[in-house]
Structure 1
Amino acid sequence: MLGKIFHPMAPAKHNAQPGGMASTELDVRIGLHYGIPSTSSIMAFDPIQRLLAIGTLDGRIKVIGGDNIEGLFISPKQSPHKCLEFLHNEGYLISVSNENDIEVWDLELRRMAYSLQWDANITAFSIIQGTYFMYIGDEHGLMSVVKYDTEERMLLRLPYHTTANAVTEAAGISLSCHQPIVGILPQPHTYGNKVLIAYENGLIILWDVSVNRAVVVRGYTSLQLKDEKIIGSSTEAGDEIPGYSSDPEHEEKVICSLCWASTCGSILAVGYIDGDILLWNMSSSQPAKGQQTGVSSNNVVKLQLSSADRRLPIIVLHWSPSSGPHNNRGGQLFIYGGAEIGSEEVLTVLSIEWSSGIETLKCIARVDLSLNGSFADMILIPNAGASENNPTAALFILTNPGQLHVYDGANLSNVTLELEKAQQFPVLVPIIDPSMTISKISLVPSDGNHCKALLVIASSMKNGVAPTLYAGSKWPLTGGVPSPLSFDENIGVERIYIAGYRDGSIRIWDATYPVLSPVSVLEGEVPGINVAGISAAVSALDFCSITMSLAVGNECGLVRVYKLCRSSDERSFHSVSATEREVHTMACREGFCCIAVFSVMNSPVRTLQFVNSGAKLTAGFECGQVAMFDMGSLSAVFQTDCVPGSSSPVISVAMKVLKQISSIVNSLEHQQPKNPSNSAEGVLFILTRNAHVVVIDSVTGNRIGSQPFHPKNETTAISMYMAPVLDLK
Structure 2
Amino acid sequence: MDLDQRTVIHYGIPSTASMIAFDAIQRLLAIGTLDGRIKVIGGGNAESLLVSPKPLPYKNLEFLCNEGFLIAISNENEIQVWDLEHGQIATSLQWEVNITAFSVVSGTFFMYVGDEYGSFSVLRYLPAKEKLLQLPYHIPVNCLIGATDVSVYTCQSIVGVLPQPGTYGNRLLIAYDNGLIILWDASEAQVILVRGYKYSQVKDGGTNELISQEKKEISSLCWAASDGSILGVGYVDGDIMLWDMTSDSSNKDNQVVKLELSSGKKRLPVIVLHWSANSRLPVGNGGQLFIYGGDELGCEEVITILDLECSGFETLRCISRVDLKLNGPFADMMLIPSVDATGDNSSSTLLVLTKPGQLFLYDDITLSALLSHQESKSSVPALKFSLEVPISDPSMTVAKLNLVPAGTNSCLSQVASVMKIDVKTAMGTKWSLAGTVPSRSTFGEVDEVESVYMAGYEDGSFRMWDATFPALSLMFVLEGKDENIQVAGVSASVSALDFCSLTMCFAMGNECGLVRTYKLRGSADETKFHFVTDTKTEVHIIHQGIGPQCTAVFSVLKSPIQTLQFMNSGSKLAVGFECGQVAMLDMKSFSVLFLTNCISGSKSPVISLIQKTLTNIHNLIDNQKQQESTNAGVHADVLFILTKNSNVAVVDSVTGDMVSSYMLDNKESSALALYIIGK
TM-score, reference length from structure 1: 0.85
1:439 matched residue in structure 2:
399
Instruction: Report the CA distance shift for 1:534/1:687 in structure 2 as closer, same or farther (over 3 A).
Output: same
- Counterparts of 1:285 and 1:468, CA distance in 2: 55
Q: Distance in 2 between matches of 1:50 and 1:165?
A: 41
Q: Superposed, which structure 2 residues align to 1:287-298 within 5 Å?
A: 295-296=252-253, 298=254
Partners of 1:643 and 1:708 within 8 A in 2: no
Structure 1 residues 317 and 42: CA distance shift in structure 2, 3 A: same
> Which one-letter code corresponds to 2:643 in the other structure?
T
Aligned residue for 1:181? 158
Q: Find the aligned partners of 2:569 and 2:424 in 1 and give their Cα distance.
A: 40
Q: Secondary structure at the match of 2:604?
A: coil
Matched, 1:279 2:242: yes
Q: Is the 8 A contact 1:412 1:419 kept in 2?
A: no
Say whether 1:307 aligns with 2:267: no
The CA distance in 1 between the partners of 2:221 and 2:149, in whole Å, is 24
Matches of 2:429 and 2:670, distance apart in 1: 52
378, 382, 395: which one aligns with 2:350:
395
Give the residue type in structure 2 aligned to 1:455.
Answer: S
| CA separation of 1:253 and 1:660: change in aligned 2, threshold 3 A | farther
List per-residue Cα deviations over 1:146-170 (Å, max 9, x = no partner). Answer: 1011222201110111122221222
1:407 — aligned with what?
362
Contact 1:260–1:319 (CA<8 Å) still a contact in 2? Answer: yes
Alpha-carbon distance between aligned partners in 2 of 1:83 and 1:464, rounded to the nearest angstrom: 40
Q: Partner residue of 1:534?
A: 490
1:383 counterpart = 2:343: no
Contact kept in structure 2, 1:407 and 1:419, CA below 8 Å: no
1:652–1:366 Cα change, 3 Å: farther
Question: Aligned match of 2:308 in 352, 363, 380?
Answer: 352
> Do the aligned partners of 1:47 and 1:384 also contact (CA within 8 Å) in 2?
no
Residue of structure 2 aligned with 1:38, choices 15, 19, 28:
15
Equivalent in 630, 648, 664 of residue 693 of structure 1: 648
Q: Which has the higher contact order (CA 8 A, sep 6+)?
A: 1
1:608 corresponds to which of 564, 567, 590: 564
- The secondary structure found in structure 2 opposite 1:93 is strand
The 5 A counterparts of 1:420-459 are 420-448=380-408, 451-459=409-417
Partner SS for 2:407? coil
Give the structure 2 partner of residue 20 of structure 1: none
Alignment counterpart, residue 520 of structure 2, candidates 564, 570, 583: 564
Please tell me whether the aligned partners of residues 180 and 194 of structure 2 are also in contact (alpha carbons under 8 angstroms).
yes
Q: Distance in 2 between matches of 1:263 and 1:419?
A: 29
CA distance in 2, matches of 1:488, 1:681: 47
1:98 matched to 2:58: no
Give deviations 1:580-599, integer Å, cap 9, x for gaps.
32211111223221101112
Counterpart contact for 2:402–2:499, Cα < 8 Å: yes
In structure 2, distance between residues paired with 1:307 and 1:600: 67
Q: Secondary structure at the match of 1:460?
A: helix
Computed over aligned residues only, the root mean square deviation of the Cα atoms, in angstroms, reads 2.9
**Residues 619 and 197 of structure 1, relative CA distance in 2, 3 Å threshold:** same
For residues 336-355 of structure 1, what are the alpha-carbon distances to aligned partners after superposition, in whole Å with 9 as ceiling and x for unaligned? 12222222222222212123
Q: Equivalent residues in 2 for 1:196-275 (5 A)?
A: 196-219=173-196, 221-224=198-201, 228-231=203-206, 240=207, 248=214, 252-275=215-238
Question: What do the CA deviations read for 1:220-263 (whole angstroms, capped 9, x no partner)?
Answer: 54243xx54054xxxxxxxx4976556x3xxx422221111110
Query: What 5-or-longer segments of structure 1 have no aligned partner?
Result: 1-22, 232-239, 288-293
Distance 1:141 1:632 in 2: 78
Corresponding letter in the other structure for 2:640: F
Cα distance in 2 for partners of 1:198, 1:490 equals 54
For residues 493-504 of structure 1, the aligned pairs below 5 Å read 493-504=449-460
Q: Which residue of 1 aligns with 2:126?
A: 149
Deviations 1:563-594 (A, max 9, x none): 12232211111111233322111112232211
Question: Aligned to 2:677, what secondary structure does the other structure show?
Answer: coil
Which secondary structure state, in structure 2, belongs to the residue aligned with residue 222 of structure 1? coil
1:720 aligns with 2:674: yes
Q: Within 1, Cα distance between the matches of 2:234 and 2:270?
A: 5
C-alpha displacement of 1:486: 5.9
Tell me: CA distance 1:190–1:574, structure 2 relative to 1, closer, same or farther (3 Å). Answer: same
Deviation at 1:621, TM superposition (A): 2.2
TM-score (norm 2): 0.91
- Secondary structure at 1:652 match in 2: strand
Q: In the superposition, relative to structure 1, how do residues 701 and 484 fare at CA in structure 2: closer, same or farther (>3 Å)?
A: closer
Give CA deviations for 1:282-323 in whole Å, capped at 9, x if unaligned: 222387xxxxxx842x22222222222222221111111111
Maintained 8 Å contact 1:216/1:285:
no
Give 1:541 deviation, angstroms: 0.7
Deviations 1:652-676 (A, max 9, x none): 222222223442453xxx7899xxx
Q: Is the contact between residue 406 and residue 423 of structure 1 (CA under 8 Å) also seen in structure 2? A: yes
Q: Aligned residues: percent identity?
A: 55
Residues 407 and 558 of structure 1, relative CA distance in 2, 3 Å threshold: same
Counterpart residue number, 2:665: 711
Give the secondary-structure state (helix, strand or coil) at the position aligned to 1:413: helix
Counterpart code for 1:688: T
Structure 1 position 641, deviation (Å): 3.3
CA contact 1:486–1:513 (8 Å) conserved in 2: no
Give the Cα separation in 1 of the matches to 2:398 and 2:240: 47
Higher alpha-carbon deviation: 573-582 or 538-547: 573-582
Residues 683-714 of structure 1 deviation map (CA, whole Å, 9 limit, x = unaligned): 32222233332333323434444x64123341
Specify whether residues 154 and 630 from structure 1 end up closer, same or farther in structure 2 by C-alpha distance, changes over 3 A only.
Answer: same
Structure 1 position 361 matched with structure 2 position 316: yes
Q: Does 1:343 align with 2:283?
A: no
Partner SS for 2:372? coil
The separation in 2 between residues aligned to 1:270 and 1:718, in whole angstroms, is 57
| 1:482-532 deviation digits (Å, cap 9, x = unpaired) | 557766556521211111122212111111222322222222233333111
Residue of structure 2 aligned with 1:627, choices 583, 592, 610: 583
* Structure 1 residues 309 and 220, CA gap change in structure 2 (3 angstroms): farther
Relative to structure 1, the CA distance from residue 689 to residue 382 in structure 2 (aligned partners, 3 Å threshold; closer, same or farther) is same
Distance 1:317 1:522 in 2: 43
- Cα contact 2:497–2:506 (8 A) shared by 1: yes
Q: Aligned to 1:437, what secondary structure does the other structure show?
A: strand
Give yes or no for contact 2:205–2:318 (8 Å, CA) kept in 1: no
For 1:574 and 1:439, the matched residues in 2 are separated by 26
Return the alpha-carbon distance in structure 2 between the equivalents of residues 561 and 536 of structure 1: 15
- For the 8 Å contact 1:383–1:476, the answer to whether it is kept is no
Structure 2 residue identity aligned to 1:260: W
Deviation (angstroms), 1:427: 2.8
Post-superposition shift, 1:217?
Answer: 1.4
Query: Given the alignment, which residue of 33, 42, 46 partners 1:56?
Result: 33
Count of equivalent residues: 667
Paired with 1:620 and 1:241, the residues of 2 have a C-alpha distance of: 76
Aligned residue identity for 1:172: D
Distance apart, 1:183 and its partner CA: 0.9
> 1:695, 1:704 within 8 Å by CA — same for their partners in 2?
yes
Q: Cα deviations across residues 334-373 of structure 1 (Å, max 9, x unaligned)?
A: 111222222222222221212322x433222222222222
**SS in structure 1 of the partner of residue 71 of structure 2:** strand
The residue type paired with residue 693 of structure 1 is V
Alignment partner, residue 15 of structure 1: none
The equivalent residue for 1:124 is: 101
Aligned match of 1:71: 48
Change (3 A) 1:176 1:434: same
Q: Offset of 1:127 from its aligned partner?
A: 0.6
Specify every segment of 5 or more residues in structure 2 that has no aligned partner in the other structure, as ranges. 627-632
C-alpha separation between the residues in 2 aligned to 1:689 and 1:465? 39
- The answer as to whether partners of 2:276 and 2:348 remain within 8 angstroms in 1 is no
